[in-house]
Amino acid sequence: MKQLGLKWQQFRKKYNIYLVLIVLFLICSVINPNFLSITNLSNISRQLAVTTILAFGATILIIGGMLDLSAGSVLALSGVLSVSCYKSTESLLLSFLVGVAVGIFCNLINAVMVASFHTPPFIATLAMLTMARGAALLYTKGQNILQLGNYVVFGQGSIFGIPTPIIFLVLILIITWYTLRHTRFGRSMYAIGGNEETAIASGISVKKMKYIAYAINGAFVGLSGVLFMSRVNAGLPNGAVNYEFQALTAAIIGGTSFSGGIGTASGTLAGAFIVGFLDNIMNLAGVDSYVQQIVRGAIIALAVIYDIGIKNHWKPLSKVSKAAS
Partner 1 sequence: MKKCLATILAGILVLALVAGCSSTPQSSSKEPAKESQASQASQAPASQAPAAQTKDTYRVAYIARAQADSFAAWLANAIRDEAAKYDNIKLDVFDGEANDEKENSLIENAITNKYDLIIVQPNNGEAQRPYVEKILQAGIFAITTNARIDNIPGSSSVDANPYEQAAVNARLALEQIPQNAKVVVLNGPSGNFHADARRESWQKEFFDKRPDVTIVGEQIANWNKDEAMKYMEDWVQSNDQIDAVISMNDNMAAGALEVVKDNPKFDNLLVYGVDGTAEALLLIKEGRMTATCMQSAYDLATLLLDTANKLLTGQEKEINVDIDNPLITKDNVDQYIEILKKAGAL
Binding site for partner 1 (CB under 8 A): 32, 34, 37, 39-40, 43, 47, 137, 141-144, 146-147, 228, 231-234, 236, 238-240, 280, 283-284, 286, 289-290
Distance in Å, CB of 239 to partner 1, minimum: 6
Closest to partner 1 by CB, 88 vs 289, is: 289
The minimum distance between CB 225 and partner 1, in angstroms, equals 13
User: Cα separation of 29 and 35, whole Å?
Assistant: 6
- CB 278 to partner 1: min, Å: 12
Nearer to partner 1, 210 or 231 (CB): 231
For partner 1, which is the closer residue by CB, 47 or 266? Answer: 47
**Cα maximum dimension of the chain:** 69
Q: Provide the b/e sequence for 45-69 (b: ≥16 CB within 10 Å).
A: bbebbbbbbbbbbbbbbbbbbbbbb
Q: Please identify, using beta-carbon distances, which residue of 142 and 297 lies nearer to partner 1.
A: 142
| DSSP-based three-state secondary structure for 145 | strand
For the bound state, the minimum distance from the C-beta of residue 308 to partner 1, rounded and expressed in Å, comes to 30
292, 293, 296, 297 alpha-carbon torsion, rounded to 10°: -150
Question: What is the nearest approach in angstroms of partner 1 to the Cβ of residue 114?
Answer: 27
Contact in structure between 121 and 258 (CB atoms under 8 Å)? no
- Pick 180 or 236: Cβ nearer partner 1: 236
Helix, strand or coil, per DSSP, at residue 325: coil
Q: Whose Cβ is closer to partner 1: residue 186's or residue 237's?
A: 237
CB atoms within 10 A of CB 142: 10
Cβ(208)–Cβ(214) under 8 Å? Answer: no
Question: Min. distance of Cβ 149 from partner 1 in angstroms?
Answer: 12
Q: Smallest gap, in angstroms, from Cβ of residue 27 to partner 1?
A: 17
239 neighbors 75 (Cβ within 8 angstroms): yes
Closest by alpha carbon to 80, among 20, 151, 140?
140
Coil, strand or helix at 159: strand
Q: Find, among 313, 325, 319, 323, the residue nearest to 9 by Cα.
A: 313
Give min distance, CB of 215 to partner 1, in A. 27
Question: Quick one: 120 or 142, whose CB is closer to partner 1?
Answer: 142
Residue 248 contacts residue 58 (beta carbons within 8 Å): yes
- C-beta closer to partner 1: residue 211 or 228: 228
What's the distance, Cα to Cα, between the start and end of the chain in Å?
Answer: 25
Measured from the CB atom, the residue of 219 and 240 that comes closer to partner 1 is 240
Q: What is the sign of the dihedral through the CA atoms of 94, 98, 104 and 109?
A: positive
**Distance in Å, CB of 96 to partner 1, minimum:** 20
Q: Any idea what DSSP says for residue 235?
A: B
